[in-house]
Structure 1
């Protein structure tokens, strides 16, 4: 079964997780943070991952910063998606960091992108900047798996990016490339560097990169899920 997961087809633990996530709908960040003993920051400019951490705490995610799904025992990844008043995603969705060396033997089937996206618990959140962070609310959670067509799109973009990395072209890749999956720098600041392959096969230092789902891809998932025009 691909696409939205029907609950008569999932195991009991997965349904329990889904029910727990569903019960969060309508909570404000302030209400949930109080339950979790967390402090709501003034904004997310210096606390970009705070909402994800709040929901991970509430749902008992166990992977932390490891290269695993957030619920590895269930094979489920947790992703929040900030939406505007019309249900449109306000930003791209981080999937995972990108390997930049020893990439020649990597395949889509064994990639961390595929692993992370094989089953996603999406939690829409109010992303409107004009609403104070503490007052923003949590939306209706849903479970999703990529269809064959969606996986084909993801695989094609992943392969194109990884081919360029292997050829030493990592620094020429822009966020505009890829139909649904983009590659772009992911670092706390420009002083954070990592090893990569240079144009002549030499070792170079560059900014770490991350894979991100483009908003037109996640927007289509939202429209399909909630029957939005």
Structure 2
């Protein structure tokens, strides 16, 4: 699928897949459907990227770079609650001290997002999971302030070499967590005394409290 040429075209493509099961969508693009997610954790998201024409891949820019729009699939329960945190981008391990909020990869990724909820209750196979109603969302002033506060706290800790002190409890709406294919992967970071150390790569994740906020904003009765 070619990249969409406009926001309207992207929105139309997204609405066209609403209500489909992942098996039905996979069939449209002649893609095999895994029996489970044990070795195919990101399969659903990649299928939706294919269907919508996302082009950025793992680059530190929005999935639709020409439109400035990021694509995020969001597994939800039958009651509309997010089931897991949402990965945004890899954290800057060696140049955290040079990071500025307004030019950060994180802010570029969350400024304008196409959210695609996917019904993914426990026990549903990949084939059975169902695409909900996609919607375009832009970061509000209040939401930007709370994310900026968390991002700055976590980025400052990285810059000061305090990576060993960071745990899942830091950040009200944003987490910094290991992000690698397995626990043996290592990358360089700065230690407390400015020395280079080996540690697990880290990524920024939106907590479910933040994505719940977005869903209420979009779907709560007006």
Report deviation, 1:13. 1.0
Instruction: Write out per-residue CA displacement over residues 24-58 of structure 1, whole angstroms, 9 at most, x where no aligned residue.
Output: 11111111011112111111222111111000100
Aligned pairs (5 A) from 1:18-97: 18-97=11-90
Q: What root-mean-square deviation, in Å, do the aligned CA atoms of Structure 1 and Structure 2 show?
A: 1.3
Distance in 2, matches of 1:129 and 1:47, equals 16
Q: Distance in 1 between matches of 2:141 and 2:45?
A: 28
Distance in 2 (CA, whole Å) between partners of 1:154 and 1:180 is: 7
Matches within 5 A, 1:1-229: 13-227=6-220
Q: Partners of 1:50 and 1:172 in 2: how far apart?
A: 33
Query: 3-state SS of the aligned residue for 1:154?
Result: helix
Give the whole-Å Cα distance in 2 for the aligned partners of 1:91 and 1:145.
21
Question: Aligned partners of 1:177 and 1:197: how far apart in 2?
Answer: 19
> Could you tell me how far 1:228 is from its partner in structure 2?
6.2
Partners of 1:150 and 1:213 in 2: CA distance = 12
Distance 2:174 2:189 in 1: 20
Deviates more, 1:189-198 or 1:125-134: 125-134
**Contact 2:45–2:73 (CA<8 Å) still a contact in 1?**
yes
Distance 1:85 1:228, change over 3 A: farther
- In structure 2, the residue corresponding to 1:17 is in which secondary structure? helix
Q: Runs in 1 of length 4+ with deviation above 2 angstroms?
A: none
CA drift at 1:132: 2.1
Distance 1:132 1:102, change over 3 A: closer
For residues 123-154 of structure 1, the C-alpha deviation after alignment (integer angstroms, 9 at most, x for no partner) is 00011121222011100000001110100001
* 1:108 positional shift: 0.5
CA contact (8 A) 2:44 2:126 kept: no
